[in-house]
Amino acid sequence: MKAIDIQDGELVWADVADPTPGPGEILIRNEATAVNRADLVQRAGGYPPPPGASPILGLECAGEVTAVGEGVSSFTAGDRVCALLAGGGYAEQVVVPAGQARRIPGSLSAAEAASLPEVYATAWLNLFMEARLEVGERVLIHAGASGVGTAGIQLCRAFGNPVWVTAGSVSKVDRCIELGAAGGHDRHAGSLRDQVEGWTDGAGFDVILDPVGAAYLSDNLRAMALEGRLLLIGLMGGAKAELELGLVLMKRLRVIGSTLRARSVAAKSAVMDQLEARVWPKLADGSIKPVIEAEFPITQAADAHALIAGNDTFGKVVLTF
């Protein structure tokens, strides 16, 4: 089969070995995948795949099941699915544990379906499983225009949680508000501290979802409500910062570090179970919609990476086969 191979930092459409499904796995003829910022970091050598995972880029895909491994009864050849991957999405064929795949909801296209698994799994895992978000609690999502951000906004809107965002421009904030956010802050306009009191009636945020890290830590702690939960899912703004322990103690805060890719098959399957039960029906009826900035053919993966690196996207960038 053909796949994108990393050769001296460049993305090359090359011949690679065909994958074969093992016990508990399915083989998918790939029709679409999506670009995640983790792909750019892996390409640069900073994010190796977990042990046993495919070294090929790509954390999600959508297509048709062509074979199933021993013990798989949940899928048969011909089923149209999307899947959460530990790697391998930038290839014509993909092997994945059956528990990490789900039938494509509603009448979504392969490109739309491929934009879902990684960002919705990340947003759901952190907001509703790790933070145990309750109806009515206030949420702040940093990088609201990202794939995870646009997914998180729609989940909060759908499940009864007022949500605010930070984003890289006023126009991005406006688009987040159109998607369901109650308000937002252009991160280039300085600290958001002055707005938190007005947004939350002085109470602060119950949950903050943050892919930035060190650069936002101080503002995050001060913006949190009593017994607030900070979900740290990335380090785009640095890995080291001073922690104001007095705030953590007095507010009874929780800082939760969370990654998805290296979790067990059982853990990822549990997330996909909840998405299928709670989110897939809303995708099927259109109350939650995929947000796609652009589509590229897989052979133009380098152009898709450049678009992501430019920080001007809103939602997902998809690669089609």
Q: Are 147 and 240 found together in one domain? A: yes
* Residues 241, 126 within the same domain: yes
Claim to verify: residue 175 and residue 295 sit in the same structural domain: no
pLDDT, average across residues 82-105: 98
- pLDDT, residue 193, reads 85
Instruction: Report the percentage of the chain scoring pLDDT > 70.
Output: 100
SS (H, E, C) 102-154: EECCCCCCHHHHHCCHHHHHHHHHHHHHHCCCCCCCCEEECCCCCHHHHHHHH
For residue 283, give the CATH number of its domain: 3.90.180.10
Same domain, 52 and 132: no
Domain assignment of residue 171, given as a range = 120-257
pLDDT tens-digit series, residues 140-174: 999 999 999 999 999 999 999 999 999 999 999 99
- d(CA 210, CA 223) in angstroms, rounded, equals 12
Find out whether 102 and 280 touch, Cβ atoms under 8 Å.
Answer: yes
pLDDT digits (tens, 9 = 90+) for 4-21: 999 999 999 999 999 999
Q: Which run of H or of E encompasses 14?
A: strand 10-15
- Under the banding of pLDDT at 50, 70 and 90, the label for residue 194 is confident
Tokens at 42, concatenated = 């892996």
* pLDDT over threshold 90, residue 95: yes
Give residue 295's pLDDT: 98
pLDDT band at 115 (very low <50, low <70, confident <90, very high): very high
Handedness of CA 163, 169, 174, 179 (dihedral sign): negative
Do 41 and 145 have their domain in common? Answer: no
Dihedral angle of Cα 224, 123, 160, 173, to the nearest 10 degrees: 70
Same domain, 107 and 127: no
297 and 212 within one domain = no
Give the model's pLDDT for residue 203: 95
Beta-carbon-side half-sphere exposure of residue 248 (alpha carbons within 13 Å): 10
173's tokens: 């904030």
CATH of the domain at 204: 3.40.50.720
Residue ending a domain, choose from 210, 236, 257 = 257
Higher pLDDT, 137 or 195: 137
Q: Is the pLDDT of residue 134 over 90?
A: yes
**Statement: residue 88 has pLDDT above 90:** yes
Regarding pTM above 0.95, the answer is yes
Local confidence band at 91 (pLDDT 50, 70, 90 cut-offs)? very high
Count of domains for the chain: 2
Q: Tell me what the mean pLDDT of segment 212-241 comes to.
A: 95
At which of 257, 275, 292 does a domain end?
257
* Domain identity same for 98 and 8: yes
261 contact partners, CB below 8 Å, separation of at least 6: 38, 49, 50, 53, 59, 86
**Residue-level pLDDT at 190:** 85
Residues 45 and 145 in one domain: no
Question: Dihedral of CA 55/61/62/65: which sign?
Answer: positive
Q: What's the chain's length in residues?
A: 321
**237 and 140 within one domain:** yes
Cα 211 from Cα 209, distance rounded (Å): 7
Are residue 243 and residue 169 in the same domain, yes or no?
yes
Q: Is the pLDDT of residue 1 over 90?
A: yes
What pLDDT, on a 0 to 100 scale, did the predictor assign at position 249?
97
Measure the N-to-C terminal CA separation of the chain; round to a whole number of Å.
Answer: 12
Last residue of a domain, one of 242, 257, 272: 257
pLDDT at residue 145 in the model: 98
Q: Are residues 242 and 229 in the same domain?
A: yes
What is the percent of the chain where pLDDT is above 90?
A: 98
